[in-house]
Chains A and B, each alone.
Chain A
Amino acid sequence: MIRKATLKRLVIAGSLLLFVLAAAPVYAATPLETVRTEVNKVLEVLRNKSLKEEAKREKLRLIYSEMFDQEELSRWSLGRNWNALSEAQRKEFLPLFQQVLEKAYGDKILAYSDEKIVFDKEVPIAKSRVEVQTRAITKSKEIPIFYRVVQEKDGTWKVYDVVVENVSLVMNYRSQFNDILAKNSPEELLQILRKKVKDQKS
């Protein structure tokens, strides 16, 4: 008798499991879940004391490419000027810009010390665009950090802008690129970026 009941339960559990497994691939994570997953991955790397700095950077790089849409981010940063760049220039721009970001924010992120991240909510911005609002809580203050994500063709969400304390990263870069491109050619902009990357390395 007991065995029968156990069996029944097993069957139910089994079919439930099957159901869940079958449903999983169809289920697309919401923007907030996506951001939370990626941010938690970052925190995991940062908390891993056994990793050396270079190894951490390498892992963060992987997470970045998974989490961010570098092309979308670049387009937003260039705004209208995106069209001024040739196909080849755009190809060079993407990794250069990524390296600038990586170096600048990598140091800051690696200096992380036990901040708590709270994931508050998502706010729709436009079609296929959502802002995921989070806060980093340090010992002395709370810093609002909003991730703006866009839905990719495959249904996943990728970050294209980070708004820290109400300052949008892409809009900030756009103002700088606009200034530069008002007086310089796209080629000269690339030149400036190349130099920046080189200086950062040294």
Chain B
Amino acid sequence: MKFISPALVLCAAVIVSCAHGPQSASTPILPGEAASSATVAVASYSLEPQTAPLQIAQSEASPPATQSEPTGKTSGDEGDVDYGMDISAAEKVTIDDPWEPFNRAMFTFNDRLYFWFLKPVAQGYSVVVPEPARVSVSNFFSNLRAPIRFVNCILQANFIGAATELFRFMINSSIGLAGLFDPAGSEEINLVRQDEDFGQTLGVYGAGPGFYIVWPILGPSSPRDTVGMVGDFFAYPISYLDPWYAWLAVRGYQMVNDTSLSIGDYEAIKEAAIDPYASVRNAYAQYRQKKVEEKGATTRRPGPDIPGAGTPARGIGP
């Protein structure tokens, strides 16, 4: 019992971020990611379809055509363009959804939770607490999650990543004032956070997501990532706060703080979607898939190597 209630709370906290869409609750965007995904993108394009994710159903809804996506042009007027075919199979990520009725109900629940509770609270909170302070709070919790990232880097045999996390933790905990700031991630030091979690580790070892699940409060998930969440729970120091309600309070606060920094994201996703539920489901599938593929991401920011002639290496917009 003692474990169960914290677990629920955890879920709730995680959901906060999940409720905004694909980005997983506990991990804001990782600066280093751009670099890694660049590499991955290149790789995945050249991959043969055999690398299509194990458990990811290539179910492009319309049944008859699914397997036989035309390899040539699909119609006369399209020239040499073949929509979707020059993108690797891995790009066309979809996820099975046998629990759809349950999931849709939970989606609605989380949606209400966000609009009726979380968002107003986060908005009120952001009126009182200025943005830099909220960013620091977010950095602080992110720093405390270092063990999760460190352990999963090790589990994925990404030792450079693990070392990066170790140094980040040492630098940010000291110079960064207990993690309130992120000097390690600055351009000068350039140790970029390695956003690895246990769900990704399972994915790296071949576990597919399974199917789509929407948990109340926790948001989009899958059997694999649910197991991953439990693993992350034990690697997160906050989980060991003693009276369980202290843990609950902290996670709740973390959720509100994270929400306050991303108000508008979920709204935009919803507004843009024809079917918000299906849109979030697909975004989740794409996002997690890429995360798993990105294993062993480089720790550098994207370097100045541009194939195009004469283009300045990196441009910084005004």
Least CB distance from B256 to A in Å reads: 14
The answer on a CB contact under 8 Å between B45 and A125 is yes
Chain A contact residue count (CB 8 A cutoff): 69
Q: Which residues of B contact A107 (CB under 8 A)?
A: 268, 271
Separation of A31 and B310 alpha carbons in the complex (Å): 12
Separation of A105 and B261 alpha carbons in the complex (Å): 18
B69 contact set on A, CB distance < 8 A? 80
Instruction: State whether the Cβ of B55 lies closer than 8 Å to any Cβ in chain A.
Output: no
Q: For B34, B80, B81, which residue has the most chain A Cβ atoms within 10 angstroms?
A: B34
B272 neighbours in A (Cβ, 8 Å): 100-101, 104-105
Q: A59 on the interface (CB 8 Å rule)?
A: no
A144 touches which one: B34, B63, B275, B278 (CB < 8 A)?
Answer: B34
Known contacts A32-B315, A165-B33; can you find 12 more A-B pairs with CB under 8 A?
A80-B70, A100-B274, A116-B318, A120-B38, A133-B37, A139-B132, A139-B135, A166-B37, A167-B286, A176-B273, A176-B279, A196-B274
Known contacts A181-B62, A182-B61; A121 and B41 CB within 8 A of each other: no
Report Cα–Cα, A176/B274, bound state, in Å: 7
Specify which chain B residues have a CB less than 8 angstroms from the CB of A39 in the assembled complex. Answer: 317
Interface residues of A (CB under 8 A from B): 30-33, 36, 39-40, 43, 72, 75-76, 78-83, 100-101, 103-105, 107-108, 111, 116-127, 129-131, 133, 135, 139-144, 146, 165-168, 171-182, 192-193, 196, 200
> DSSP majority for the A interface?
helix
The answer for the CA separation of A119 and B314 in the assembled complex, in Å, is: 6
Residues of B within 8 A of A30 (CB): 308-311
Within the assembled complex, what's the spacing in Å between the Cα atoms of A108 and B271? Answer: 10
Q: Residues of B at under 8 Å CB distance from A?
A: 22-23, 28-31, 33-34, 37-38, 41-42, 45, 60-63, 65, 69-70, 74-75, 78, 80-81, 83-84, 86-87, 91-94, 131-132, 134-135, 138, 261, 264, 268, 271-275, 278-279, 281-283, 286-287, 290-291, 301-311, 313-318
Decide yes or no: A116 and B275 within 8 Å by CB, A107-B268, A142-B31, A171-B92 being known contacts: no
Q: Contact at B274–A192, with CB atoms within 8 Å?
A: yes
Report A-chain residues with C-beta under 8 Å of the C-beta of B261: 140-141
In the complex the two chains form, what is the Cα distance from A173 to B275 in whole Å? 9
Q: For B134, what are the chain A residues with a Cβ–Cβ distance below 8 Å?
A: 140
List chain A residues, Cβ under 8 A from B31: 135, 141-142
> Measured between alpha carbons, how far is A117 from B318 in the docked complex, in Å?
7
Specify which of A79, A141, A200 is in contact with B60 (CB 8 Å cutoff). A79
List the A side residues contacting B91 at CB < 8 Å: 168, 171
Report 29 cross-chain contacts, Cβ distance below 8 Å, ordered by A residue.
Answer: A30-B308, A30-B309, A30-B310, A75-B78, A80-B83, A118-B315, A119-B317, A120-B314, A121-B302, A121-B304, A121-B306, A121-B314, A122-B307, A126-B45, A133-B34, A135-B31, A140-B28, A140-B135, A141-B31, A146-B41, A165-B23, A165-B33, A172-B279, A172-B286, A175-B279, A175-B282, A179-B61, A182-B63, A196-B274
Partner of B282, one of A36, A122, A133, A176: A176
B283 (CB) vs chain A CBs: closest residue = A167
- B132/A80 in contact, CB under 8 A: no
Would you call A76 and B317 a contact (CB within 8 A)?
Answer: no
A178 to B279, CA, bound (A): 11
Is the Cβ of A142 less than 8 Å from the Cβ of B34?
Answer: yes
Provided the pairs A104-B272, A123-B41, A140-B138 are in contact, do residues A118 and B316 lie with their beta carbons within 8 angstroms? yes
What residues of chain A lie closer than 8 Å to B301, measured between beta carbons?
Answer: 120
Contacts of A167 in B (CB 8 A): 22, 282-283, 286-287
In the bound complex, what is the Cα–Cα distance between A119 and B23 (angstroms)?
22
A47, closest chain B residue (CB): B318
Residues of chain A within 8 A of B282, CB atoms compared: 167, 171-172, 175-176
